[in-house]
Homo-oligomer: A and B are copies of this chain.
Amino acid sequence: MNSDNFNLSEKIVSPSYIRQGSQARRGHEQLIRQLLEQVRSKLYFVSSYHCSEDTSSFMLCVLQGKCPEEGWSESTVELFLSELAVMDSNNFLGNCGVGEREGRVASSLVARRHYRLIHGIGRSGDIAAIQPKAAGSSLLNKLTNSVVLDVLKLAGVRSVASCFVVPMATGMSLTLCFLTLRHRRPKARYIIWPRIDQKSCFKSMITAGFEPVVVENVLEGDELRTDLEAVERKIEELGAENILCVHSTTSCFAPRVPDRLEELSSLCSKHDIPHIVNNAYGVQSSKCMHLIQQGARVGRIDAFVQSLDKNFMVPVGGAIIAGFDESFIQEISKMYPGRASASPSLDVLITLLTLGVCGYKKYLSERKEIYSFLAEQLKSLASAHGERLLHTPHNPISLAMSLDGLQANSDKAVTQLGSMLFTRQVSGARVIPLGKEQTVSGHTFRGFMSHSESYPCPYLNAASAVGITREDVTVCIKRLDKCLKTLKKEGGAVSSSDQEVSIGE
């Protein structure tokens, strides 16, 4: 309520109590102020130096805010969202609409779940543009991007210059990056891609209309690592000008490990080739983020893309496109034709305001601890069953345990283990048999799912991803132990309820 209304209230309820209440309200306003202020001050600084009159560069500069240190209470968050909502024209009490897009909502369930923020984000020309009809939604969009940028810095990519949230998953966001590069390199047809067996990465290139050049990984110990020489060979073979970009990966399933970003970035720099990094769930790992920071320092990274859901525990459907050169990131944002859903932005903003920097960091450090715990537990389970934990020290999130014995026992046992785990509600544990072949968009991958044409053994993956609990690990190990025992006993004669279930990506 404004001061007039507080004054009126003092006439109804005792003034000293109302003053106390009004002071309490200021507490919430103060938090909002801090959020807004950070954004503004950075803007000021920047605009006096190199911002032109052009509105879009103006907007870009804004992206320099802060995520609050301490998380907000739910009541502050909801108060803030309802404040944003009343600033959108669909919530104006006296509005009359005679356009074709007026933020009308037929279902009150729908209106409510979006906090009455209906206009989405962006305009025809640019997903980062401000909407005249929707000052609240526009503010939401700016704030989200600036808070997210701050978190990317805190998570390790200290020199990131710009980013924006896009309501598309990682794959489609990568596609958007490639489509943007096309305008810079109209002749280029190829994308150099150190193999990672995840369909959407591969398809992101196909969809953009390019030809992926698959570079097989090299086996070092148990680890599958980037074959730098092969990459350079390919560049020379195809000609730098014909190559759209190198498309590398950080977070991935063991025994593959993050690509050698430093070296790849240097290579790109040397050959003047753009470099796009798929950092799908890498924000949660300081190692992955460090690789990006280093890559950008010593060489060239044009953009790195990360999933919202996997890193920030929000529903599937959003990604962050980030980079070190403001103008290129802005170019990508202008490439998105038309408005877009505000839903992923809203989710991540609510989440980050609720957690605060402290809360998010706590999640990250717990994840790290549980990674060690999971490694330990898997190791002793493995040894109990005559298997071993693969040695993959460069992968900070995913682990792999060999299934040699199981394979020896019965051909079907490995895939059966997958089905059994699925039925027993162990989700996310992947079983990788030997020698699976799969054709994706015309390209045939031998040894599919293992990132290698012929990995030496079948194995099982488990990951310690942000939000995991100790109990997840304990229960998983217990059930896995049971399944392995059952399979050994039965020697393949498994109950019908455990028929094969396809549970890949």
Q: Are A338 and B110 in contact (CB-based, < 8 A)? A: no
- Residues on B with C-beta less than 8 A from A113 are 113-115
A299 at the interface (CB under 8 A from B): no
Interface code A449-493, partner B: CB below 8 Å = 1, 0 otherwise?
000000000000011111110011101100100000000000000
Q: Which A residues, 320 to 370, have Cβ-Cβ distances below 8 Å to chain B?
A: 335-344, 347, 350-351, 354-355, 359, 363
Q: Which of B24, B110, B251 contacts A93 (CB 8 A)?
A: B24
A75 at the interface (CB under 8 A from B): yes
Q: Are B89 and A351 in contact (CB-based, < 8 A)? A: no
| Cβ distance A332 to chain B, nearest Cβ, rounded Å | 10
- Residues on B with C-beta less than 8 A from A422 are 20, 132
Q: Are B36 and A12 in contact (CB-based, < 8 A)? A: yes
Q: Are A16 and B209 in contact (CB-based, < 8 A)? A: no
Bound together, the chains give a CA A93 to CA B341 distance in angstroms of 31
A29 at the interface (CB under 8 A from B): yes
Q: Are B363 and A106 in contact (CB-based, < 8 A)? A: yes
Q: Which of B26, B91, B310 contacts A75 (CB 8 A)?
A: B91
A203 at the interface (CB under 8 A from B): yes
Which one of A39, A107, A337 has the greatest number of beta carbons of chain B within 10 Å?
A: A337
Interface 9-residue window, one of A80-88, A217-225, A382-390 = A80-88
A315 at the interface (CB under 8 A from B): yes
Number of A residues whose C-beta is below 8 Å from B? Answer: 172
| Cβ distance A76 to chain B, nearest Cβ, rounded Å | 7
| Cβ distance A200 to chain B, nearest Cβ, rounded Å | 3
Q: Are B139 and A12 in contact (CB-based, < 8 A)? A: yes
Q: Are B136 and A428 in contact (CB-based, < 8 A)? A: no
Bound together, the chains give a CA A110 to CA B81 distance in angstroms of 13
| Cβ distance A168 to chain B, nearest Cβ, rounded Å | 7
Q: Are B354 and A107 in contact (CB-based, < 8 A)? A: yes
Bound together, the chains give a CA A200 to CA B459 distance in angstroms of 47
- Residues on B with C-beta less than 8 A from A505 are 123-125
- Residues on B with C-beta less than 8 A from A502 are 132
Q: Which A residues, 98 to 123, have Cβ-Cβ distances below 8 Å to chain B?
A: 98-110, 113-121, 123
Q: Which A residues, 167 to 211, have Cβ-Cβ distances below 8 Å to chain B?
A: 167-172, 174-176, 179, 182-183, 198-204, 206-209
| Cβ distance A407 to chain B, nearest Cβ, rounded Å | 21
Q: Are B130 and A13 in contact (CB-based, < 8 A)? A: yes
Q: Which of B8, B200, B310, B463 contacts A33 (CB 8 A)?
A: B8
Q: Which of B21, B130, B471 contacts A96 (CB 8 A)?
A: B471
Bound together, the chains give a CA A2 to CA B101 distance in angstroms of 29
- Residues on B with C-beta less than 8 A from A393 are none
Q: Are B14 and A463 in contact (CB-based, < 8 A)? A: no
A417 at the interface (CB under 8 A from B): no
- Residues on B with C-beta less than 8 A from A24 are 86-87, 89, 91-93, 425
Given contacts A75-B82, A102-B427, A340-B168, contact A12 B281 (CB under 8 A): no
| Cβ distance A380 to chain B, nearest Cβ, rounded Å | 16
A95 at the interface (CB under 8 A from B): yes
Which one of A92, A131, A199, A427 has the greatest number of beta carbons of chain B within 10 Å?
A: A427
Q: Which of B12, B78, B316 contacts A43 (CB 8 A)?
A: B12
Q: Are B204 and A102 in contact (CB-based, < 8 A)? A: no
Q: Are A25 and B425 in contact (CB-based, < 8 A)? A: no
| 20 further A-B pairs in the complex, CB-CB below 8 A; given A22-B87, A100-B310, A106-B312 | A5-B29, A8-B39, A12-B139, A18-B135, A24-B92, A74-B109, A89-B427, A94-B425, A96-B475, A96-B476, A98-B463, A101-B465, A105-B314, A106-B314, A118-B316, A123-B505, A171-B337, A175-B179, A183-B206, A341-B343
Pairs across A and B, CB under 8 Å, 19 listed: A8-B39, A11-B40, A12-B43, A20-B87, A20-B425, A77-B109, A98-B374, A106-B355, A109-B354, A120-B169, A120-B309, A124-B171, A124-B203, A183-B209, A203-B335, A206-B335, A316-B340, A317-B342, A341-B344
Q: What 5 pairs across the A-B complex have the smallest Cβ distances?
A: A99-B428, A317-B341, A120-B316, A21-B87, A171-B337
